[in-house]
Amino acid sequence: MTGPMTGALADFRGRHESAAHNSGWTTLPFFRDGGAERVAQAVDARLAEGARLVPPPEQVFAALTLTPLERVRVVVLGQDPYPTVGDAHGLAFSYVGARRLPPSLKTILAECAQNGARVAPGRGDLSGWARQGVLLLNTALTAEAGKAGAHLKLGWARLVDDAVAAVSATRPHVVFLLWGEKARARASLVDRDKHLVLEAGHPSPLNRHRDFLGCGHFAKANAWLEGHGLGGIDWSV
């Protein structure tokens, strides 16, 4: 089956399977053993049935494109894209919609401000983080308009597992920010002898424990990176 998602996958491969990227994301088992094709075909099948994809196909792999494997310094794991058309653009938690910020992102940015970052009111685009080496990767890279979680079982989770394992194995001194039960479950994939794993509750207001605010993760991440001579992240938005 050929469709928008399989086309986006082919384009991603074409741009990243070059000599300059021969140790990058496309070397992951997910892209080598047919897993990516199976997910793309499943997404295209939903589109053929009339579903509307979020984000649009050309933005699905934005997290991997903006943050190549060889530049990863921090990993942040989300769940799946915002289900309103125009809100998501391929980066976990990042928001480019026209309405007020989503509650989880608002909480994240409040913690950033507490850690000394400059946060402009109403701004939610985290592309600046991604360009500095912050991998903002969702557990599912796609969803459907009006249907949060619609693609969580399509096979995207294998990509996340492969990506976390690859970062752990190949990168030096990365900070893994694992927020919420699903993200924290991947802590076992990380080599704690060389990386820093920081865990907290999910920033969502539905988290009844309210154990995200005050975690200090952004300041702790920069202290770790700077302590290893890697330079901190400018968390300003």
| Adjacent-strand bridge partners of 78 | 138
Long-range contacts of 14-20 (CB under 8 A, 24+ apart): 15/65, 16/64, 16/65
Q: Which residue has the tokens 């154990």?
A: 211
pLDDT, tens digit, for every residue of 143-194? 999 999 999 999 999 999 999 999 999 999 999 999 999 999 999 999 999 9
| Adjacent-strand bridge partners of 74 | 134, 175
192 token code pair: 């704690």
11 is known as an active-site residue: no
Which is catalytic among the residues 11, 33, 80, 125?
Answer: 80
If you count them, how many residues does the chain have? Answer: 237
pLDDT, tens digit, for every residue of 56-80? 999 999 999 999 999 999 999 999 9
